[in-house]
Amino acid sequence: MEHKSDRRPAGERRARTVSSGGGSDEARRKPLPPEKTHAEEFYYLKQMGTKTVMVFVLEGGESIRGRVEWYDRDCVKVHRDDGPNLLLYKRYIRYVHKEGEDRSDE
């Protein structure tokens, strides 16, 4: 028997009780990973503190060498000794590594 306080049509009440019987897919799914892990923040702050020369390889294959001056969600400002400072959009950076590390695809 239905409670009088449940004022939904009978068809909706039945559909709800049938679907909730075996557990939901949401309960069986893995939890989503955290949106922010702070790994990028840790890496850039460490390189900024030690003033490490970094190599930024862009999507087109061009390499930019310099020190990270600052960064935000979308950009990295690179201080270069051999040219003007650059503001690189992160979406165009293929990968980053420290200068002197062996990279076969440079």
In the predicted model, what is the mean pLDDT of residues 69-77? 95
The number of distinct structural domains making up the chain is 1
Q: Which residue has the higher pLDDT, 44 or 14?
A: 44
- Phi/psi of residue 79, nearest 5 degrees: -90, 120
The pLDDT of residue 79 = 97
What pLDDT does residue 99 have?
Answer: 93
Structural domain harbouring 43: 39-98
Query: Contact at 8 Å (CB) between 80 and 86?
Result: yes
Q: Output the CA–CA distances (angstroms, integers) from residue 56 to 19, 40, 66, 90, in the order listed.
A: 52, 14, 8, 10
0.85 cut: is pTM over it? no
In a domain, 34, yes or no: no
For residue 94, give the CATH number of its domain: 2.30.30.100
- 45 in a structural domain: yes
pLDDT at 10 over 70: no
The amino acid at 78: V
Domain assignment present for 55: yes
